[in-house]
Amino acid sequence: CLIIAGTGSNDTAYAIDLTQCACQLGYDGMLVVTPYYNKATQGGLIKHFSMVADVSTKPVIMYNVPGRTGSNIEPKTIARLAAEFPNIVAVKEAAGNVAQTAELFRVLPENVTIYSGDDGLVLPFMSVGARGVISVLGNIGGQMLQDVMRLYSEGKVAEAAELNKKLVPLANSMFIESNPIPVKYAVTKVTGINAGAPRLPLTPISEAGAAKLDAILAEYGLV
């Protein structure tokens, strides 16, 4: 079992410190999100990720999620970084843009893996070069995700698409309130392991949200 540490920050010096600490503690890899809030230029992103990758003694996964950070890493920027730093081994692409993912696959070195950052987009992303998903839904519905990816990889595209139709509403239910509020509630309900409440400023799921999620989990036979 590999353990990946999230060591990203919008403060480059802090991201460096977190990465060095995680390496020393023996984590197997780093997940480094795009700096959030301050909206760095592509040049700033190159410097940021270069400095983090330079100090990491473990593999690095770049994490592009513009909806949460306000900043998009362009494919050419990722490709430049991956070519310069061999320890950048993968990208978690959560821009929700199939065309951008296709371009990313075109320009990336062949040894760099693209993962979908969105459960509901794993199938179209795989069709343009992604290899899998770094998942929210996997915490409660991992088998369905595995089956979609397996079917596609076996060339059973129509079957994968049919199963994906069933998967997408469940994946979307993990975002009925801000992630990770619903998934923490769902993990507790499905596994019996108390995932606890989210830290402020996130709050526990609302009564209406809990009722809606309970119905969806029951519909899918998860509770």
Q: Which residues are catalytic?
A: 63, 92
DSSP states of 113-148 as a string?
EEEES-GGGHHHHHHTT--EE--STHHHHHHHHHHH
DSSP states of 151-203 as a string?
HHHTT-HHHHHHHHHHHHHHHHHTTSSSTTHHHHHHHHHHHS----PPPTTS-
> What six digits make up the tokens of 200?
């402020």
Q: How far is CA 52 from CA 41, 146, 163, in A?
A: 17, 32, 39
Cα separation, 73 vs 64, whole angstroms: 6
Q: Which residues, at least 6 apart from 143, have a Cβ–Cβ distance to it below 8 Å?
A: none
